Structure 1
Amino acid sequence: MSARTLVLRASSWAARSSAWLGRATDVHHQRFYRPALLASSTRSLYQRATYATKRSVADELLLTALKGEVDYELRDEAHKQGNIKGSARPFEVTDNPGTEEIILRRTYGNEEIAVTCILESQQPEEDEDLGEAHDEEGDEEEENDEASENRDVEVLHLNVTITKGERYPALEFECSFVSGGEEIEIESIAYLHSDSSQGKDDEIEPQEYTGPGFHSMQPNLQESFHKLLQARGLTSKVATYAIEYLKAKEHREYIRWLHNVETFFSS
């Protein structure tokens, strides 16, 4: 075999080897480097990171606002507590944190008296004559806005329960007192033999007669019930104290709520 033939065969073998290596390299490249998959994975990670960043920013903004509100309310707390004038005597105040009510308790002879107090802010209905005057003046919207800011009144709701040793029978008064008023208003009086809500399952209990409508009673009988409550210490002074106490309590409960929300998002 001539030297020329050997050279030609060697060149042909080298070309085939180079082509084979090229194909192998392409397969390896295609198998282990997939730009589309890498780009998709990168986008997913980026999106998750961006979402986490946005969520963290929102949380931080909320926490900052909560801390600022707590600081502001704490500075105002001493002023709120200082507004409580008088006392609940002869009652003792039961104040359970986390609730919106207080209970005034006392013993009167052989009676146990419990007064559950809840405060509500109400806006009375607008006087019709006043509304007509506003229309004539042409300033209805502006004056209504000013009036709505000044006409809100605080109404104390009182549930008075009187028992003698046992839970039942009981005499239950539903009352109300408007801040600045002169007398506690009685809305209804019920004589309760037992707790009607404790009936057997699937058993319909007959409706118990608890008493007449208070305002349907004779005026002298209504007056006698008013004097009965006053004799037991439930006066306008005690009601006024309860209003101021509940306003301060609402402020404390608001601060407690702010702390709870702050702790929830901080953990």
Structure 2
Amino acid sequence: MKILITGGSGLVGTALTEKLIEKGYKVNWISRSNKSRKDVDVYQWDLKKAYIDKEAFKGVDAIVHLSGANISANRWSETYKKLIADSRIETSQLLFDSVTKYNIPLKTFISASAIGYYGTFTSDKVLTEDSPPGNDFLAKVCIEWEKKAKQFQTIGARTATIRTGVVLSNKGGALPQITKPIKWGVGANLGNGQQYMPWIHIDDLVNIYLKCIENSSMHGTYNATSPDSITNKKITKQLAKYLNRPLWLPNIPKSILKLILGERANLLLEGTRIFPKRLLNQKFSFKYSSFAEAIVSLF
């Protein structure tokens, strides 16, 4: 079975590629760069030119669409917000247009999405895949992103979207940024610390994608978050305890973070409980069901 991955050189794409190859799958990447791997065939695509190398689709059974600009990498100028949106929404459209143009008999299309679909706010309410979408910037991006994925249903492809939480990995992503100030002895709660951080261990996320590829009954939307709901305050406390570092600073005020980070500060200051109802209904077994277990495995 051959899998085509977009965003293959990213944090999740790299881990998924390694898992698939380990299990005997053939993997293609489509990429904007000329990066190459001995065990992966890499093909070019260009969003501005609406171009994907036709050879990328040869023999492909499933596409896993992980491409998307990093939402935490830069201040959210209007230009960068457009990049965040286009790198998800317009790339999805380009994939669909190319698959239909080349008459590719695609069996499965799996797209990343994000828990940003539900909006950025703090609440003790538990949200599931049935909960309504939000109305802020990221929610609107996710809504359109998922609409593009659903187009693949019209050509008979089994389609699924994975609404992903904060990915924990020791190879990049959020965890090194969260732990850095704590390691330096200057860790503190963000805002009031009561906001939740729906998280997922990189190994569990890879296994979710693998299960979705292999299980023909999986379609629709899945929350890729641990069942363990935990607040920023508890995360900070657990990390400090594990790293044997003191927590002596007062909470960092919201106003300071918003001054430094602008609109994207809300990613750190807000968060609600997201529950993986549909994954559990599929009997998915989380390897790391508690935050404490996850951090032990990553240090």
Calculate the TM-score normalised by the size of structure 1.
0.21
Structure with larger Rg:
1
Structure 2 length as normaliser, TM-score? 0.19
More helix by share: 1
